[in-house]
Amino acid sequence: MDRDEIIRLLGTTDADEVRALLKAADEERRRSVGDEVHLRGIIEFSNHCGRNCLYCGLRRGNETLRRYRIPDEEILELAARVRDAGIATVVLQAGEDPAHTTEYICGLVSRIKAATGLTITLSIGERPYEDYRAFQAAGAERYLLKHETASPELYRRLHPDSDQNNRIQCLHWLKGLGYETGAGNMVGLPGQTLATLADDILLMRELDIDMIGIGPFIPHPDTPLKGAAAGDLELVLRVIAITRLVTGNTNIPATTALAALDPAIRLKALASGANVVMPDFTPARYKQHYEIYPGRSGVSSDIKAVLAGLEKDLSGINRRIGKGPGGRRSRPED
């Protein structure tokens, strides 16, 4: 699928063609990664951030946000809850917190690995190469670093204190070190076009990304983009579907951001190429302040109920919860 065809399919309004696109993506998902839906338990362990991205509620300039850092012992308890729920992968997610030294992250990772044996994913932003190598030596196997947008102009506008070249370099480092590497983008960013969305998809194919997070832009009331429109959910489904067709065997989550706008959309995403769900284990007293976008506090913190509801929903679409860490599969043709 070339760039022009991707742009055309992103913009199609023909209902029959959209149905055919989503069906084709679902068939490719079944062929390439199977019917299992893999779970990753998220712990949002700090909402401090040194960046000032225009769209994010955690941005440094948001002085209305109550900041927190979860104590280490509580993080360990939460990781044990992830393991006890039968989930084999934990995602440690935070803003780019200046207090998170290399030594601190390495110590936290090694303690969680020793205590739980979980597959550990980090999502803590841009770091020097030596940090990524140290985190890996401590026990981290996966790293999520969304590229956000492939457009240099749009990236500069949305990230006034960041360098797109450095972010792409970080993704190259992570892949080179052997991490299972995640990237991803938002759909509906102010100034985004169908062409830039096509470039997002092609960039992730070029980088051979292992996990791709695609969600709608949701304006936060305490950011400079508070008056912008939210991303279109039907367009998000088309982006997920095309990404599945273009990248084949990647892991693609039905993101929390989708559920924040419409709880029913998660199943549609799973029927349009997605194969991962990421239950949030962050306690409600913290989660209400991890407000990258509004609406997250409405997502249930009752993990047993969340998992039971997910299992019931999946049975209705002939899918099942996967066992084990659910890493990226080899391509069927390999």
Q: What is the pLDDT of residue 329?
A: 80
Residue 259 has pLDDT above 90, yes or no: no
- Rounded to an integer, the average pLDDT of 91-101 is 98
pLDDT over threshold 60, residue 81:
yes
Question: What pTM value is reported for the model?
Answer: 0.95
Phi and psi at residue 119, in whole multiples of 5°?
A: -70, 130
Give me the pLDDT at residue 304, please: 87
Q: Where are the domains of the chain?
A: 3-321
The DSSP element (H or E) to which 118 belongs, if any, is: none
Q: Residue 84 pLDDT more than 80? A: yes
DSSP 45-114: EE---S---TT-TT-TT-TTSPP-B--HHHHHHHHHHHHHTT--EEEEEE---TT--HHHHHHHHHHHHH
Percentage of residues of the chain with pLDDT beyond 70: 97
Distance separating alpha carbons of residues 244 and 306, to the nearest angstrom: 26
Q: What is the pLDDT of residue 62?
A: 97
Measured CA to CA, the distance from residue 142 to residue 153 in angstroms comes to 29
* Largest Cα span, the chain: 54
- The confidence score (pLDDT) of residue 75 equals 98
Instruction: Report the CATH fold assignment for 3-321.
Output: TIM Barrel (3.20.20)
Pick from 56-65, 79-88, 126-135, 287-296: least confident: 287-296
In Å, what is the CA distance from 75 to each residue of 45, 92, 115, 304? 7, 9, 12, 19
Residue 333, pLDDT > 90, answer: no
Task: Give residue-wise pLDDT tens across range 275-314.
Answer: 999 999 999 999 999 999 987 765 666 888 889 989 999 9
Mean pLDDT value of segment 325-332 = 80
Task: Report the pLDDT value the prediction gives residue 297, as an integer from 0 to 100.
Answer: 60
Share of the chain above pLDDT 90, in %: 89
pLDDT at 138: 98
- The pLDDT of residue 299: 62
Summarize pLDDT for 135-144 with one digit per residue, the tens: 999 999 999 9
Average pLDDT over residues 19-41: 97
